[in-house]
Chain A
Amino acid sequence: MTLAIRTEALVKRFGRTVALDRVSVEVPEGAIYALVGPNGAGKTTLIKVLMNIFCPTAGTAQVLGVDSRRVAADVFCQIGYVSENQQMPDWMRVGEMLRYYRTFYPTWDRELEAQLVRQFELPLARKLKHLSRGMRMKAAFASSLAYRPRLILLDEPLSGLDPLVRDELIEGLLDRAPETTVFLSSHDLAEIEGFSSHVGFLEGGRLLFQEEMASLTARFREVTVTVNGRAKIPSGVPTAWLQLETVDSVVRFVHSKYRETELAAELAEFIPDARDIRADAMTLREIFLAIAKSGRGAGASERTARAAAEVKA
């Protein structure tokens, strides 16, 4: 498997603050990798390290096979980067900006540029500083997609956008997806759930886990079991059972290693009088909440990491 991005025990410190703590990320080529995590988790820092805006304190990071410290003009020709807090040449008109950037990219595709301008309905004659936030993002997307980059890095690109613009941008992105790798960060799980192929969860500077979306959603189930009489919390349950709780005659938990064929046997062992068994699929948001809560129930982020590690195991 060829990797578009690979970091190994990556550490980034700002003074005494550890922004990234031994982060090891692997993004296969062709993937749409969503890096999720709360605000301040270190997502932007990781992306800036990958873009050689920040230098790693320790560990290594490779982007398209190049050490992040050596990522420069030649590599930037193959990377599209859009960030919610990136400045733009506001004094330029949209058309002027596209014309200006054209000279920097040997692979700039004028037809694709025109197509993106049409698709995003960009006002070429308007200055960037006079555009709405959504329109600015569209202009940023157009200027980062028109040269068919091998890798697209997006730092919270969709936050604060109205659903219509968000859909338009995702659509534009997915049009390019077959020929590129997408690595995007978000704190909004719902917005990336529909189209991501891989997901990584970063919290407190640590990557709690990363996995293919399909396998993640396949192995998480919310299991609800009804028992005879008042339910008691069974003891010695597998660590893969998260957020185990009882309400009257109902036992509920999140199974993080769900296998349809093995569930009945497991339940028979720990909840022998189980009847009415339901295993519901979970949304990404519910999965992350389950992981986060099972960690926080025990304490701090360190424990979340432990919970996530157990989940992974």
Chain B
Amino acid sequence: MKQILAIFVKDARRFWPEILVSFALLTGLVLVYPATWRAPGEGLSVARNFWLFRQGGMGFLAGCLVVLIPISWLVLIARAVHGERLVGNTQFWLTRPYHWPRLLAAKLLYLAVFLYLPFFIAQCVLLSEAGFYPFHYLAGLFFNLFLLTVVGVLPLAALSSVTSGFGRLTLTILGVVLTIVAVAVISNSLPSDVTSSVPDILSGDLGLGAIFCGSLAVVIVMYARRNTKAGWLLIGALTLAMCATAFYDPDRPLIERYYPALTAGSPLPVTITYPAKVLPQPRADENPDRRFVDISVPLAASGVQQGYAVVPVAMKVKIAGANEASWELPWQGNYGAHFLPGNWAFMGINFRMRRSTYDQFKASPVTLRISLAVVEARKSSESAIPLPEGDFAVPEIGVCKPTRWGWWSNEISGIACRSAMNQPQLTFVSAQWTAGDCNPATDANPKQAAGAAWVGGIDQQPAEFGITSVWDVPVPLAMPRFSAPPAKTGSNTGAGAVTFSANTGTPPQRWSLCPGAPLRFTQYRPARRVREEITIPAFRLPEITRWGQFGLLAH
């Protein structure tokens, strides 16, 4: 312990300027960031009267700090590791009785005191400033520290351990980043009919695990053996493994296991049909890369059970033509749609196929088989809140507040929320828009329209990695600002957009949320993951709409 403390004190004395800068940046973030969600005059008493906090641009300053803080950590980590440089053979400490586990422990203590502890405190202060009680979020706070370790501290410590100085470390980081970017660019530029990745099943954890284990192995190899060659080999292998995921998605083969087919007798989460006469026509658009054609097939979704919501997350398409010819598009992501009980809703299936394949199947009717991986989410809680004038707490989400058109306006233009440690669990938010300025004296019987939004995600962890512990939650309540009242309510297609008739001839009108208007927050948690199959016999691939000089041209 004596040796650990001696090394720690030595580092603290040596690197006090770097430590001070890091503290200053974190302090700056704690002062500035709350101003981005506060009205002028609110906030920390220290900052309340500071001119900067009453100006605009707080968001920009907070953004700069969010970038600068990790850089200051990079310097802290690099300086700590390079303080007892592991590469080379002339360092003063190599022939002194350093026990490597104690040296490593001293560096961990240094990071714990000068990086983790201030970060933890800053996160707690931000939570408190945002109206959260930090100790309710200890799991999230520690999970965020763990994520910081995996995605930041350990990889940087590993890279620092195999480099001899900050310059070389910077070049190495640039090299690794450029390699990954180059591989991503190459992978994206390769012609492919797969356009989006499937939802994360294993790859996220696998990636984090690989980075954690790989970086830890490098650090231990370097501290225990100072074997630079082995360290570089491990880093190279890790980088290659990360690059490999650009070409191979490990989640794709797991989709069918993770989203099993419906067993006989179990109810469909949602009934997907293709009533061709009711739905808009399918489309085929020529892709800017003329080797491909983008196909869009509208489907109808209905039959969601009361108390549930259904979210499609991935799809697979198979086309079977005449003469046993077939084409299959592997599983790929299909995001954005949410289905609730009630009226049927549209859903678009969009996929890309090679022009040659399209031409092959275009001539005659085909059987189109669509497999959908869906999550059936059960309502877990519901809160009905009359819209107040100021901040209000929403269970399971966090703290929300009405937003206004500007500092000059009293009219409420929407709501904005902030949550602790991550985006909230999947939540359906509904509201009542009112035409006009909510003044009964002006209009005693104003028009009203329903607004709705989906916020949050299906599978939430205790925390998402973030420099700040408070997350802005966008609540894009469909705002009929320059539109007419809805022609039809309750038909919720797509990502929370309430549909409005395009043009009824009514002049544009400002819509507001009136104080006291009912807000409803319905939260859903995953209950079942299944795979649904839709077969459309005798389907004809639509004619191609070509790209002309000025955009799409009809064939």
Contact = CB atoms under 8 A, between A and B. Distances in A.
B489 interface: no
Interface in A70-90: 72-74, 76-77, 79, 81, 83, 85-89
Most buried by A among B14, B89, B95: B95
A104 B90 contact: no
15 contacts: A54-B89, A72-B99, A73-B97, A73-B98, A76-B97, A79-B95, A86-B95, A87-B90, A87-B91, A88-B92, A91-B14, A104-B3, A104-B96, A104-B97, A104-B98
B90 A103 contact: no
A77 B97 contact: yes
Contacts of A72: 99
Interface of A: 48, 51, 53-54, 72-74, 76-77, 79, 81, 83, 85-89, 91-92, 100-101, 103-105
B99 A73 contact: yes
B6 A104 contact: yes
Given A74-B97, A76-B97, A103-B6, A89 B92 contact: yes
Contact of A101 (B2, B89, B94, B96): B96
A53 B225 CA distance: 10
B10 to A, nearest CB: 6
A103 B2 CA distance: 7
Interface string B9-51: 0100010000000000000000000000000000000000000
A239 to B, nearest CB: 41
Given A48-B89, A86-B90, A87-B90, A76 B96 contact: yes
A77 B96 CA distance: 7
Helix, strand, loop or mixed for chain A's interface? loop
A238 to B, nearest CB: 45
Contacts, number: 44
Contacts of B89: 48, 53-54
B6 A100 contact: yes
Interface residues of B, number: 15
A104 B95 CA distance: 11
A106 B95 CA distance: 16
B94 A53 contact: yes
A48 B98 CA distance: 17
Task: For the complex of A and B, list the 6 residue pairs with the smallest distance between their C-beta atoms, beginning with the closest.
Answer: A73-B97, A81-B95, A76-B97, A103-B6, A73-B99, A77-B97
Contacts of A76: 95-98
Interface in B69-102: 89-92, 94-99
Nearest to B10: A100
Nearest to B89: A53
A141 to B, nearest CB: 14
Most buried by B among A85, A86, A100, A104: A104
Given A73-B99, A91-B14, A100-B10, A51 B94 contact: yes
B99 to A, nearest CB: 5
Nearest to B99: A73
Nearest to A80: B95
Given A53-B94, A73-B97, A85-B90, 17 more contacts: A53-B89, A73-B98, A73-B99, A76-B97, A76-B98, A83-B90, A86-B95, A87-B90, A87-B91, A88-B92, A103-B3, A103-B6, A104-B3, A104-B6, A104-B96, A104-B98, A105-B97
Contacts of B91: 87
Contacts of A81: 95
A56 to B, nearest CB: 14
A69 to B, nearest CB: 11
Contacts of B10: 89, 92, 100
A103 B94 CA distance: 16
B87 to A, nearest CB: 12
A53 B98 contact: no
